[in-house]
C-alpha cells in the first residue's frame, strides 16, 4: 500500500474523494483538524492545552500537531496506509512529515492536487443544498432538486452555510497562496500529481483510483525484487 497526500481548495470535493479512497483502499485518514478536535473532545492533557490556546484566539503551534501526527505514523496498524488531508499546510510541516515518514521506514507515494476554476468552486459552495429529511445533496447550479430525482418537500432543503461569494473567493486565494510552496516542494520530488477537479466526482475518483493501483503495483514490484 501507499501513503498519499490529498490537496484541494475549498469546494474541490476533496472530502468526498478522501472518503472514497479510505473505503476503497482501507486507508486511514489523517487530518490535523480532526486530530486536534479529538484530543480536545477526549480532554487529554494535550487536548486541554490546545483548547486553552484556541480559546485565547492563538494559533496552535506546529509542534503539537507534529506530535499527534507522529503518534499515528508510528502505529504499525497504519503502516504505509495513510491519506493526509489538509496536512502538511506549510513547508515546515512538509519537512517534518518527510523526516517522520522516513523515521518509521515508510514513504509518500503520491501527492494528489485537485485543480479547479475559482468560478466553479464558488458555485459549488454557494449552490450546495442538503435535504434534511433524506440526506441527499443537491446543487442549485449544477444538480438541482427536481420532482424526478427527489421526493421530499422543498422546505427540507437547506443551504449549507451563509458564505458569500467574496468570503469564498478569499478562502480559495488564501489556499492558493499558502499551498503553492508546498506543492512546489513535492513537485521537486516528482511526487506531485495534478488532477483536473473540474470533472464529475466519479470520473475524478476513477482517475485517482487508477493511479493508486499503479502505485500499488509499483510498490509490490519493489518489494518483490528487494
Q: Which residues bind Zn ion (CB under 5 A)?
A: 131, 133-134, 152
Q: How far is the CB of 188 from Zn ion (least distance, A)?
A: 47
Cα 33 from Cα 202, distance rounded (Å): 26
What is the four-CA torsion angle of 71, 76, 82, 88, rounded to 10 degrees?
A: 30
Q: How far is the CB of 83 from Zn ion (least distance, A)?
A: 30
- Backbone phi and psi for residue 4, each to the nearest 5 degrees, phi listed first: -130, 160
Closest to Zn ion by CB, 154 vs 188, is 154
Closest to Zn ion by CB, 133 vs 140, is 133
Q: How far is the CB of 129 from Zn ion (least distance, A)?
A: 10
Q: Is 110 helix (H, G, I), strand (E, B) or coil?
A: strand
Cβ neighbours of residue 78 closer than 8 Å, sequence gap 6 or more? 28, 72
Closest to Zn ion by CB, 120 vs 152, is 152
DSSP code string of 112-169: EEEE--HHHHHHHHHHEEEETTT--EEETTTB---TTT--S-GGGEEES----HHHHH
Q: How far is the CB of 18 from Zn ion (least distance, A)?
A: 25
Closest to Zn ion by CB, 150 vs 209, is 150
Q: How far is the CB of 135 from Zn ion (least distance, A)?
A: 7
Closest to Zn ion by CB, 37 vs 160, is 160
Amino acid at each position: 500500500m501507499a501513503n498519499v497526500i490529498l490537496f484541494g481548495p475549498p469546494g474541490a470535493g476533496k472530502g468526498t474523494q478522501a472518503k472514497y479512497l479510505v473505503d476503497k483502499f482501507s486507508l486511514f485518514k489523517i487530518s490535523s483538524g480532526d486530530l486536534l478536535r479529538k484530543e480536545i473532545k477526549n480532554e487529554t492533557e494535550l487536548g486541554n492545552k490546545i483548547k486553552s490556546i484556541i480559546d485565547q484566539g492563538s494559533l496552535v503551534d506546529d509542534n503539537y500537531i507534529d506530535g499527534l501526527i507522529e503518534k499515528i505514523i508510528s502505529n504499525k496498524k497504519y503502516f504505509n496506509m495513510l491519506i493526509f488531508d489538509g496536512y502538511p499546510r506549510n513547508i515546515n510541516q512538509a519537512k517534518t512529515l518527510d523526516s517522520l515518514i522516513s523515521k518509521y521506514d515508510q514513504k509518500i507515494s503520491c501527492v494528489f492536487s485537485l485543480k479547479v476554476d475559482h468560478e466553479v468552486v464558488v458555485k459549488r459552495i454557494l449552490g450546495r443544498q442538503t435535504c434534511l429529511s433524506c440526506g441527499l445533496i443537491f446543487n442549485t447550479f449544477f444538480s438541482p432538486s427536481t420532482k424526478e430525482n427527489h421526493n421530499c418537500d422543498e422546505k427540507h432543503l437547506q443551504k449549507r452555510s451563509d458564505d458569500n461569494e467574496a468570503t469564498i473567493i478569499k478562502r480559495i486565494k488564501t489556499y492558493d497562496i499558502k499551498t503553492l510552496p508546498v506543492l512546489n516542494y513535492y513537485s521537486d520530488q516528482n511526487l506531485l500529481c495534478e488532477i483536473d477537479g473540474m470533472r464529475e466526482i466519479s470520473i475524478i475518483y476513477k482517475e485517482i483510483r487508477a493511479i493508486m493501483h499503479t502505485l500499488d503495483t509499483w510498490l509490490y514490484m519493489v518489494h518483490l525484487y528487494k
